[in-house]
Structure 1
């Protein structure tokens, strides 16, 4: 907050602090966490409301405004005494121990709900991030390549293969990871592109046992 100016009264300085707090609560970048966004919006609204109420009080009773600011500053300059404010709330607003206790129970219930919602959001966000990271780390299971970019050991490109045949790559080729791939389709006016699908380890093992494919190298 802005340092107290010697020409300002404590009440005027508090108004400056509240204005700065209000401006901060809607300045970008805003928080992404829903709970933080909710608290930030609430803090901004409360700062605005307190500032207007304090300003109005200063116009009609500067003494009461000064007393309010002194309470708000706290005995050691660390803010108001929350327990003293709870007692004040009971005397002047709730006006009944039973009503104040009901408000306390309601507050604990809402706090528990907020915690549950926050934990659920965090679990969902963590799972989403883990899934995204897993997807980015996993090799593509299907790829479409230019046939002329993949040369086999006999000098031919993969246009010499028929749909359904297999290609084994020992190293990355044309942006395709090493592995055993099945040619599933040709594309283009002159069949210049081919779609390959990566086989799983179990599928490769079955093919090796049946000797159903010719070993090819790029």
Structure 2
């Protein structure tokens, strides 16, 4: 069976990672969460003091990009790869609301995007990959055989994210999560370098009122039709 590249883009908290993991497991493909890479860079910037509520020192972050080593390591118990920053498993830390508040700003820095896109393209050289993010179908893999664009209402996305954080034990308010979702939508859609947009030929999936099973079956059908037209 031929292998293809599956590019999944879309707004935050639309379940891109969930569907990407499902597809990768079903197909025996490699899954790459590009959002985790940008989150790890954001965590590094926070730890180093390059970014805070009052200021974002882009130049210091850019000068220190060579000090950032990102790797995905597969966790058999979880069934997916976790993000490692300079040898440290940071999978939990990068999912906090604090990191979420800054990741879109960090991802808008051209030098950051340039370095990470190069890594992402190398990961997909042999196809058989499912990659999700904001610019996968438009920049990273514009020739991907299947492109998806995930969307849902801000309120539905904020509630999903809120429940996820609460389940992890984080103390957050729904209003703060909604504000974060709306702010990220604006920054992601309006940045100068690789803004979030639906790629040419991408299939839009609005899962505002769609269950996980229905969504997976619909998308798997698209995959099968792409592999065996």
TM-score (norm 2): 0.22
Task: Pick 1 or 2: higher relative contact order, CA cutoff 8 A, min separation 6.
Answer: 2
Larger radius of gyration: 1
